[in-house]
Amino acid sequence: MKRFWSRLRPTDSRRNADTSQSDAVITASLPELMVQADRIARSLAAGAHGRRMAGSGEDFWQYRAAQPGEPASHIDWRQSARSDQLWVREREAESPQHVSLWCDPSASMHWRSSPHLPTKRERALVCALALGSALLRGHERVGLIAGHEPGHGFSGQAAFPRLAHALEAAPSPEDWPEPELIRIHGQVILVSDFLWPDDQIERVLQSIAARPARAHLLCVLDPAETTLPFGGRIRFTSLENEAPLTLPAVETLRDDYSTQLAAHLDRLRNACTRHRADFALHVTDHNPLPTLLALHNRLAHAHA
């Protein structure tokens, strides 16, 4: 069911089905999306607690419990002698981290179930740009997985417009994921509906973890994709050049659909757990700020 729904949409609810037309709409609305993203970024910056993460600087940050296999040189023996637990003394990072962004440009993202909602692509761009803007404000380096040479990054808030235009125009990597486009020991933010086959998700996460890098998946869904609210005889037309499909009494599929979608999301979360990745879900009829604030905080404290 998930593969069917990721590519087919109800004819009577379809919006912006032509990909080239949808791209033109996105390009024209990019300034408005940038304003939305920058407004959210200011809220993220206000809710953050600074760039506090482990590194090789001189300033003490925190003690943390030692992990299995931790090198003896990392142990703070004076602090450990005060308890039965081994402790590691961490210092705050001096150099900025590098975060790579990817926002799914595929045809299935150019859809919304209501004209009062943004398309998944529009909301995904706003979310990615809000995080990018907040990171630039925090003096981090932000790059792209596709559309730029490996290692390239933007820095400083003045670079935000260039980042926005580059992200909007970036294609999907032809052989996704290309390992050389993933920064070693960096962090990677992937924004998509992730209605992908399980083996594709596994390949992507494996490739990121092998660098090694830390992945953060933000899954953006339309509310109709979470509830299948349609009833009666519905003709579904393809957004990705597949044959249309007509189904009678769609409401009778709702329970099975909900079960399949929940199972798919559980597999996504489990795959992220296996590869030390984060997973967050956002539905486009909700305010994205709480989800982005939680993700922004995880970025600040993640260890690649």
Shared domain for 74 and 196, answered yes or no, is no
Residue 286 has pLDDT above 90, yes or no: yes
Angle between helices 289-301 and 19-47 (to 10 degrees): 70
Q: Which of 105-114, 240-249, 289-298 has the lowest mean pLDDT?
A: 240-249
Shared domain for 140 and 241, answered yes or no, is yes
Last residue of a domain, one of 61, 94, 127: 94
**Bigger pLDDT: 214 or 10?**
214
Shared domain for 72 and 206, answered yes or no, is no
d(CA 209, CA 175): 17
Instruction: Dig out the tokens for 68 from the structure.
Output: 């299995």
Shared domain for 33 and 86, answered yes or no, is no
Q: How large a percentage of the chain has pLDDT more than 90?
A: 51
pTM: 0.79
Shared domain for 21 and 134, answered yes or no, is yes
Number of domain units in the chain: 2
Q: What is the 3-state secondary structure (H, E, C) of 172-202?
A: CCCCCCCHHHCCCCCEEEEEECCCCCHHHHH
Name the phi and psi angles at 65, rounded to 5.
-65, 140
d(CA 200, CA 197): 5
Shared domain for 71 and 182, answered yes or no, is no
What's the count of helices (H) and strands (E) in the chain, helices before strands? 9, 11
Q: What is the pLDDT of residue 109?
A: 93
Is beta strand 278-283 parallel, antiparallel or unpaired with respect to 214-221? parallel
Helical (H) or strand (E) element with 28? helix 19-47
- Residue 38: give its domain's CATH number: 3.40.50
Shared domain for 64 and 190, answered yes or no, is no
d(CA 144, CA 204): 15
Instruction: Dig out the tokens for 196 from the structure.
Output: 């992908």
Shared domain for 30 and 62, answered yes or no, is no
Q: What is the pLDDT of residue 221?
A: 97
Counting every residue written for the chain, the total comes to 304
Shared domain for 59 and 149, answered yes or no, is no
Q: What is the pLDDT of residue 172?
A: 74
Q: What is the pLDDT of residue 201?
A: 94
The average pLDDT across 47-70 equals: 59
Shared domain for 72 and 101, answered yes or no, is no
Q: Where are the alpha helices (DSSP H) in 101-193?
A: 120-137, 160-169
The average pLDDT across 235-247 equals: 83
Shared domain for 34 and 109, answered yes or no, is yes
Question: Radius of gyration (Cα) for the chain, nearest Å?
Answer: 21
Shared domain for 152 and 142, answered yes or no, is yes
The domain containing residue 66 runs over which residues?
A: 52-94
Last residue of a domain, one of 94, 115, 146: 94
For residue 189, how many other CB atoms are within 10 A of its CB?
Answer: 24
The average pLDDT across 69-92 equals: 79
